[in-house]
Amino acid sequence: MSEKPTLATVWLDGCSGCHMSFLDIDERILDLAAQADLVYSPLVDTKEFPEMVDITLIEGAVSSEEDYHKIRMVREHTRLLVSLGDCAVTANVPAMRNRFAVRSVLERAYIENADLNQDIPVQVIPALRETSIPVHQVVPVDVFIPGCPPAADTIFFALTELLAGRKPDLRTTTRFGA
């Protein structure tokens, strides 16, 4: 086993833009790899979330039952939970459906706007919860990185600070909607 701190990323209800922005740190990912092991992520192959991860970045809002159970599981197995990007921090665009009933949202998506197979799926697709909410409304979150998406520099800075045992001050580097 490596002695390096472990890092995970989780993708809930988001557009994957935050993960893309994370990848935009380009060659600096080598620096990061020297400091931490990426043990779980949509970007790697692991299927099971490890017993304990030091830092987990969450992209996306909690929208479905799957998201809900997943984030609670992840929190249990994570030392430092980081909300990455506006969807995780504010529920952002996913939350724009909150003003409408789940039923009418599904009808709009799968019936009114569908040309083929007009049917609301009940299998495979996880059931939507009544509202899409930010991660910290479900489990405690330790660090917030707002931005849509947060810039690669911001993500890199935040991670290196966290790995150095410091809470990153992001006031001047990012904001809601940035």
Report if residue 140 touches other proteins, rule: CB under 8 A.
yes
**How near is the Cβ of 56 to other proteins at its closest, in Å?**
10
Closer to other proteins by Cβ: residue 34 or 124: 34
**How near is the Cβ of 120 to other proteins at its closest, in Å?**
23
Which residues 30-89 are close enough to bind other proteins by CB under 8 A? 54-55, 72, 75-81, 83, 86, 89
- Backbone torsions φ then ψ of 8, nearest 5 degrees: -135, 155
Both tokens assigned to 53: 């991860």
- The interface region with other proteins, picked from 38-46, 103-111, 115-123, 144-152 by CB under 8 A, is 144-152
**How near is the Cβ of 109 to other proteins at its closest, in Å?**
18
Judge whether 26 and 100 are in contact, CB under 8 Å: no
**How near is the Cβ of 148 to other proteins at its closest, in Å?**
4
Asked if residue 150 has a cis previous peptide bond (ω within 30° of 0), the answer is no
d(CA 16, CA 63): 15
Report if residue 142 touches other proteins, rule: CB under 8 A.
yes
Closer to other proteins by Cβ: residue 26 or 51: 51
Other Cβ atoms within 10 Å of 128 Cβ, number: 19
**Residue 31 is inside which H or E element, if any?**
helix 28-35
Q: For residue 38, what are the β-bridge partners?
A: 7
The residues, any chain, with a CB within 8 Å of residue 144's CB and separated by 6 or more, are 82, 83, 89, 136, 170
State which of residues 95, 106, 128, 155 lies at the interface with other proteins (CB under 8 A).
95
Residues that bind other proteins (CB under 8 A): 5, 54-55, 72, 75-81, 83, 86, 89-93, 95-96, 98-99, 131, 133-134, 136-142, 144-146, 148, 162-167, 170-172, 175-178
